[in-house]
Amino acid sequence: MARVHVIANQKGGVGKTTVTVNLAAVVADTLGGNTESPRVLGVSTDPQASMLEWATRVGDALPFDFEQCHDRPEVLAKLRTITHYEHIFVDTPGSLEDERILQTVLAQADDVIVPLEPEPMSFSPAARSIARVVEPAGVPWRVLLNNWDPRDGSGDLIQTRGFVEAKGWPCFNTVIRHYKLHTRASAEGVTVVQYAKNRVALEARQDFFKLALEVLGSSSGGVPRHASDLQEASGADAVYAGAED
Ligand SMILES: Nc1ncnc2c1ncn2[C@@H]1O[C@H](COP(=O)(O)OP(=O)(O)O)[C@@H](O)[C@H]1O
Ligand SMILES: [Mg+2]
């Protein structure tokens, strides 16, 4: 049976679609399978369909199967019963109006990834989503710090780690750094696994490979780590030195 990973945060623009597409691409690429039979399914439940547009531009090079399902509640309510795939990654809407869709897919989730940008303006909306819909779903969930630009210094990252830790929220060790490559990927019709072969692209890709390892690691029954366990809380800029784009 497929493991259903839902990417959720009711704030728009935090990276749900970016994370869904690139994580699904890396996991599909890593697990192999052939183009006729990918082992990963990407599902968009967002009526704004930005994942659909992105997937359409990537075309045949998309390493996972894709379905746009915002208007197919009968499919969303049965995601867990799909046997054909090993992993299903579900992108969700970034608005409170579409909460019913979110509730439907959260009821099917094996785990939830909550992207959070390292800036104070993002904290309250994330806290609201977590308290209102993510925690009540009763499945393992973790916050993912996304879109951190090391050139801005580590202050925001340390502050965000502190906030996450104070809340007692489980958090991925991996931080997805800001790269223009990620911003441009949708318009250019590529996913991380198709980025050019150069050093900056390798760095950008590396974050998603690290994230995939954490996600796949917990698929075999690992316990999500709590923010308070993190060793990297203040040393992250040593680990994530020098992003460029
Ligand atoms: N790590 C990142 N590096 C660069 N740009 C990013 C990153 N994450 C998100 N973005 C950009 O931020 C914007 C919002 O991201 P998106 O994935 O569409 O968010 P959401 O789906 O939560 O609304 C997009 O333009 C996207 O390209
Ligand atoms: Mg989106």
The span from the CA of 19 to the CA of 117, in Å, is 12
For ligand 1, whether the C-beta of 13 sits within 6 Å is yes
Per the structure block, which two tokens stand in for 68? 């746009």
Max Cα-Cα span within the chain: 47
- Residue 125 in contact with residue 163, Cβ under 8 Å? no
C-alpha angle 216-131-50 in degrees, rounded to nearest 5? 60
Per the structure block, which two tokens stand in for 113? 């990834």
φ/ψ (deg, to 5) at 137: -65, -20
For ligand 1, whether the C-beta of 240 sits within 6 Å is no
pLDDT tens digits, 158-171: 999 999 999 999 99
Domain coordinates of the chain in residue numbers?
Answer: 3-234
pLDDT tens digits, 172-224: 999 999 999 999 999 999 999 999 999 999 999 999 999 999 999 865 444 44
Percent of the chain with pLDDT over 90: 81
Nearest ligand to the CA atom of 50: 2
- CATH topology for the 3-234 domain: Rossmann fold (3.40.50)
pTM, two decimal places: 0.90
